[in-house]
Structure formats: structure tokens, C-alpha cells
Amino acid sequence: MTTNRKQTLGEFIIENQKSFQYSSGELSKLINAIRLAAKVVNHEVNKAGLVDIIGTAGETNIQGENQQKLDVFANEKFIQTLTNREIVCGIASEEEDSFISINSSDENHQNKYVVLIDPLDGSSNIDVNVSVGTIFSIYRRVTPVGTPVTIEDFLQPGNQQVAAGYVVYGTSTMIVYTTGDGVNGFTLNPALGTFYLSHPKMQFPETGKIYSVNEGNYVHFHQGVKDYIKYCQMEEGDRPYTSRYIGSLVSDFHRNMIKGGIYMYPKSSVTGNGKLRLLYECNPMAFIAEQANGIAIGGKTRILDIQPTELHQRVPFFCGSKQMVGKLQEFLKKYQ
């Protein structure tokens, strides 16, 4: 009798390594390191109500935001895991003021990759038991191998990413990632501590019925965005659409990719260019979206074509199903 045994994340990485254009094995080790750190963070997230890990840590990060205790824990675990494995030459985290240069114990190390990471996206939701996540982005360095990394290695446009993904810590824990050859999702079996391929070749539906935006800021939005929201609410054809906004980018994005929808964090008279960081959130999510039949824009510009100018740069962000983002673009063009 045959069984439909699911492929593990480790098996998937090995099997698909040759399809990656830089097939040296380093990227596979890097994804494995992220998998390990995600399991450690997942364990802590799932016992957040039982130990002294919820609430604020009494510090603010470079963004001026209150750090949650789990923010600090997740940041430390991902940096520690990536550093100890001696796979990367540099790390930039949303929680750190500047990038971290990794000095390998091997003087002749040839580490070629830098990682940019949002260790715990949506962490303000931890106290109320709402899904949170981790977002990561991977680039090949542009400065000479064997030398310390510089800011130039991190300020690369998103179209230079070699891999990106996210972990969602929810009713089940999943890793979703791409290396430029489609998007695949892996669900953790907590009894075995193993991730199994559960969502192969993930795709945004061409259209959907969900729009995700913080409507509390409606009066401060650009007129084109206001008009699109009114369009979503209008009773006509397959509308009105359903408003669903969790306040955790990973969770909102994940739902919309599966069910079809659009996520919006526009610039406004209150937040300026919005709240989301180009390097830690928008670029990796845009790469995943485009690999999954979706679109990601910052208004007039494709997110992946934006040239970063600073490590913690914020940009407007719209992404989701092609037809929904396309309709939004029609409204935005009216006011350009």
C-alpha cells in the first residue's frame, strides 16, 4: 500500500538546490538556519501567556516604536542563529540601529550573502493572541568577498533579491518562501518539529473580495486611495468587498494570497510615506507577491524597482491580486 507522504522542508531544499542559479549550497544552509531560528521563536510565541515574555521591554527601537519583549527575543535568536552558522557576512534588522558585519572565525571565509529581517512583524498583537510573523530577505553582497560588508551591500533594489520569505506563527506555524522559482509553503508538525510541504506553488487568485487597510486613517489618505476604498464598498456586481485588517502584515498578506485580495498601507498626512519599511517588509513581500502571480507597487512605482537610500526607509505599499491592484492604479492615475 502506498502513502502520500509529504516532503519535508529539508528534502525540498536539497531537491531544488540545483534549480537555483548560485548552487553552492550556502543558500540552502541559510534557509535551514532560518528554519531553526523560526522553530525556537515559535516555541516562545506559543507559550507567551505562560511565561514573562509578553508586554513591552522598556526600550524603543530605531523607528521610535516601543519594543515588545518578544521583539527583543526574536531579534536575538535570528541574529544568534545566523551568526553561529557562519553562513552570512552581514545582517540588517528592523530592530537594530545599523547593520551587523559578521566576522567569521575562518579568515578565508567566502560568505556571499546578507540577510535583512523583521524578526517579529505585528508584535503588538502578541498580548491579545493574534497571529504574528517573521519576514526575511536575502541578497548576494556587492562588495568584494572576504572584506567587511558596507551599507552598499544592503541598499540594493528588491529586484536583486535571491530569496525572500516569511514565517507566520498562528493556529499553525508556516514558512513561505521563494528563490525566484515560485512560492511554496511549509507547515510545522509540532509533534515532530518538522516542516512539511503543505502549500506547493502558491498563487494569488486573479481577483478577490477582500481589501485590507487601516480605515481609521481614511481622512488622511490620498484622494485616489479614498476613491478606491469607496469603490470597494459600493454595491455593484460582485461588490461590496469584505474589509479584513489584522494589523500584522504577514497575516494579512498570507490570507489575501490564499483567498484573493489587496493589502494597502498608503502614505498619509499623518504617517508621511506610511509605516512599512522598504528593506525589511515591502521588498520581500513584493518578491513573494510577484512570484505568486500578484502585483506590488508603491503608488506609481513597482516596489522591486525602488532604489533604497537608507536602511530604515519607509514607502507606501499596495500589493495583492492583479485585477484588484490594477483597479487601484486606475484611481491613483486620476490624481497624478
Closest CA to 218 of 271, 166, 168: 271
| pLDDT at residue 51, rounded to an integer | 47
Which residue from 207, 192, 169, 190 is spatially nearest to 73, judged by alpha carbons? 169
pLDDT digits (tens, 9 = 90+) for 150-198: 999 999 999 999 999 999 998 899 999 999 999 999 999 988 999 999 9
User: 9-199, what's its fold?
Assistant: Fructose-1,6-Bisphosphatase; Chain A, domain 1 (3.30.540)
* Sequence-distant (≥ 6) Cβ neighbours of residue 216 within 8 angstroms: none
Annotated binding-site residues for Mg(2+) read 94, 118, 120-121, 281
Q: Say how far apart CA 188 and CA 192 lie, in whole Å.
A: 8
Backbone angles phi, psi at 77, to 5 degrees: -70, -45
Q: Residues forming the annotated binding site?
A: 94, 118, 120-124, 214, 245, 275, 281
Q: Confidence band (pLDDT; 50, 70, 90) for 1?
A: very low
- At 53, the pLDDT band (50, 70, 90 cuts) reads very low
Q: Are 71 and 57 in contact (CB under 8 A)?
A: yes
Q: How far apart are the first and last CA of the chain?
A: 63
By CB atoms closer than 10 A (0-12, 13-18, 19+), residue 122 is buried
- Which CATH architecture best describes the domain 210-333? 3-Layer(aba) Sandwich (3.40)
Q: Which residues are annotated as a binding site for substrate?
A: 121-124, 214, 245, 275
Domains of the chain by residue range? 9-199, 210-333
Is pLDDT at 96 greater than 70 in this prediction?
yes
The predicted model scores a pTM of 0.92
Question: Rounded to the nearest 5 degrees, what angle is found at the Cα of 140, between the Cα atoms of 159 and 304?
Answer: 15
Tell me whether domains 9-199 and 210-333 share a fold.
no
With a cut of 70, say whether residue 2 has pLDDT above it: no
Is the pLDDT at 278 greater than 80? The verdict is yes
Q: What are 68-94's pLDDT values in tens digits?
A: 678 888 999 999 999 888 789 999 999
Query: What three-state secondary structure class fits 207?
Result: coil
CA distance 87 to 326: 40
Binned at pLDDT 50, 70 and 90, residue 284 comes out as very high
